[in-house]
Amino acid sequence: MAGPEILVDIQKVRENTRTLVEFCRSRGVAVTGVTKVTCGMPLVGKAMLDGGVVSIGESRIENIQRLRSSGINAPVMMLRIPPLSRVDEIVTTVDISLNSELSVIQSLSEASLKKGKIHKIILMVDLGDLREGIWPSDLMNVSREVIDLKGVKITGIGTNLTCFGGVLPSRKNMKELVSYAEKIENAFGLHLDIISGGNSSSLPLLMEGGMPGRVNHLRLGESIILGRETVKGTLWPGCHNDAFQLTAEVIELKKKPSVPIGETGMDAFGETPIFSDKGEILRAILSVGREDVIIDNLEPVDKGISVLGASSDHLLLDVTECQQKLNLGDKVNFDLNYGALLASMTSKYVKKTPLMGDSELMTPIKTLLLGNSPIFREQILLDHLKEMGFGYEVSDWEISEELISSSLDVGNVPIVGGEINKAAVALKGMARSLKQAGLIIFAPHASLIVQGNEQRSFLAEILGFRDDNTNLSSVISPESVVIIGLRHAERSEVELIKKHNIKVYTMEDIDLLGMREVMINSLRQVTTGTEGFYTRLSTGVIKAEGEGLTFREAHLAMEMIADSAKMKIFDISGTPDKSWIDDKGLCNLVESAFGKRILNF
Ligand SMILES: *Cc1c(COP(=O)(O)O)cnc(C)c1O
């Protein structure tokens, strides 16, 4: 039986974000988009990032992992005070956390030092709402202790209001917050980048012009999600209040009396119901109940419908005045408030269905599969590319510079693969179309042999280190080249790497830093000052753990590449070690590099 669904209009989330980010920006305030009420739904996180938020705010590690595994690599702010027991996970999964407990901050510092990192923190101050925060009289003492810690850096202070005590943000308490920030700055001779003035309930004060100029950051959840501020709950100008709706199916539709017949006692929830007699009415039962959602906070979109009540699995409606003609099997939609949304998003009985805008459904990009790689004959790869909205053409044609260049000029992203190595041709073709490009290579070898061994000379040729007239270094600077997964390099190769500042991540670096960190740095390197980059996946890089990249690491890397949206050509080459990866696995990697996700929502 069709159960209830939450429909999430991704385009509306993006538009709400844009509206609010633009409003805040015009007043000098940056926005962190809070996804917690959606349990870290990746498409919502992406829509917020597209809408211009500087980071994602979350309250649970599980939700953050969900965002991360869908390729969201934007900074993430941990909103809930980190539990002592999970500081290790916090420093690896999030970039910045809100804090109020000295001992937690000390543990965070130790944990991040162990990883060779510095974890950023915002000190939370309690301005009277009595949820989290350092009490103002303790603030200077705590700050003094924290400043001496080597593994954390105070990047700002913040407060949270209107959550427990219902205290509203005001000129007075916001000025207090700024004065605490300045006190810390003056006492310890530092500058606080962030003064975070609260959540969606701070928007009205910002609108009135009552926010002190130094408050430069807000953490917005409900206002983006439901399109309204949270002091009075009024719709924010230009925002949609229906980005999220609950929908459920009519499973019974009958004319019945409005008052029960017979002697009445308690209902299923121990209440004694009261009915007013309206005669016979048209009653609908929907396939949703108290087990799924908070019934009291549902509002039918059709104003002619009224909610009569609910039991565990049934919602009863009076649809006598319903504007549309209802039939059995039809869906009825509801607007929700924050509580109802939270309950539905966390309920495993409620399906979450993202509605994509036209722009997302069909990416106008085509790909051209060039070469005789056996994976190009895997129907599943072709099907998945199509599902993702890529037009494709399979071609055994001779790869020529001309073909690559004209393909890039019309916005295609060619995939090059096969036994005979065509990377040099493809790169030369790319150099015709782009002024500056990056190159990201996943390979166990450096391929920087200057004399002899043609198999291991590909990069030396591209960068003009061999005497064969090829030199693309004016387009592909050695500083825009990254090699990931290196396991062997000859002495002469190491010298070239050092001399030309080619960035290399060995297996050891990957173990130490983690693939995410490696990819963030690598993508920055190959996209800085370039129009895009070439990806070369030499399949021999994938091996057993410790020896080479694991399949999972390769996957994450490909997902992050897709997410950068800057890849110009994908090149899959080499002979894979079939004991670690088969053709299907390789197809998976190609699909990930083109944006396929295992979990889309
Ligand atoms: C949930 C939360 C927010 C977002 O609040 P909204 O009212 O949804 O905007 C901001 N900051 C903290 C600390 C939170 O826990």
The b/e string for 115-129 (b: 16+ C-beta within 10 A; e otherwise) is: bebebbbbbbbbbeb
Task: Quote the mean pLDDT of the chain.
Answer: 90
Atom of ligand 1 nearest to the CA of 200: 9
Span 500-525, mean pLDDT? 92
Distance 161 CA to ligand 1 centre (A): 9
Span 340-349, mean pLDDT? 91
Please report the pLDDT score of residue 364 as a whole number: 44
- Report residue 360's pLDDT band, with 50, 70 and 90 as the boundaries: very low
Instruction: Given the residues 12, 36, 422, 596, select the one marked as catalytic.
Output: 36
Say yes or no: 25 and 57 in one domain: yes
Q: Which residue has the tokens 């036994």?
A: 419
Give how far the C-alpha of residue 524 lies from the chain's centroid of Cα atoms, to the nearest Å. 17
Give domain status of residue 355, yes or no: no
Please report the pLDDT score of residue 524 as a whole number: 87
Q: Which residues contact 561 (CB under 8 A, 6 or more apart)?
A: 440, 519, 523, 535, 567, 593
Taking CA atoms only, the protein residue closest to ligand 1 atom 3 is: 199
Q: Is the CB of 202 under 6 A from ligand 1?
A: no
Please report the pLDDT score of residue 396 as a whole number: 66
Q: Is the CB of 200 under 6 A from ligand 1?
A: yes
Span 477-492, mean pLDDT? 93
Taking CA atoms only, the protein residue closest to ligand 1 atom 14 is: 79
pLDDT in tens, 119-130: 999 999 999 999
Last residue of a domain, one of 338, 372, 388: 338
Say yes or no: 385 and 511 in one domain: yes
Among 182-196, 340-354, 533-547, which range has the highest average pLDDT? 182-196
How far apart CA 61 and CA 127 sit, in angstroms, is: 27
CATH code of residue 114 = 3.20.20.10
Say yes or no: 206 and 300 in one domain: no
User: Quick one: which of 369, 402, 405 has its CA closest to 384?
Assistant: 369
Say yes or no: 190 and 276 in one domain: no
How far apart CA 383 and CA 374 sit, in angstroms, is: 15
pLDDT in tens, 553-599: 999 999 999 888 889 999 998 877 777 788 888 888 998 898 876 54
Q: Is the CB of 59 under 6 A from ligand 1?
A: yes
Torsion of CA 158, 238, 245, 352, to 10 degrees: -60
Distance 122 CA to ligand 1 centre (A): 14
- Residue 266: strand, helix, or coil: coil
Percent of the chain at pLDDT > 90 equals: 64
Please report the pLDDT score of residue 596 as a whole number: 73
Last residue of a domain, one of 338, 373, 401: 338
Q: Which residue has the tokens 């949609």?
A: 240
Say yes or no: 332 and 375 in one domain: no
- Residue 371: strand, helix, or coil: coil
Distance 63 CA to ligand 1 centre (A): 15
pTM metric for this prediction: 0.66
The dihedral region occupied by 209, where left means phi > 0, alpha psi between -120 and 50, and beta the remainder, is: left
Say yes or no: 198 and 283 in one domain: no
pLDDT in tens, 302-317: 999 999 999 999 999 9
Say yes or no: 148 and 291 in one domain: no
Q: Which residues contact 48 (CB under 8 A, 6 or more apart)?
A: 13, 14, 17, 33, 35, 56, 224
Please report the pLDDT score of residue 598 as a whole number: 53
How far apart CA 461 and CA 369 sit, in angstroms, is: 24
Say yes or no: 319 and 251 in one domain: yes
Least confident of 41-45, 134-138, 173-177, 408-412: 408-412
Catalytic residue list contains 578: no
Structural domain boundaries, residue 327: 247-338
Q: Is the CB of 15 under 6 A from ligand 1?
A: no
CA separation, residue 130 to residues 142, 201, 212, 391 (Å)? 18, 16, 22, 56
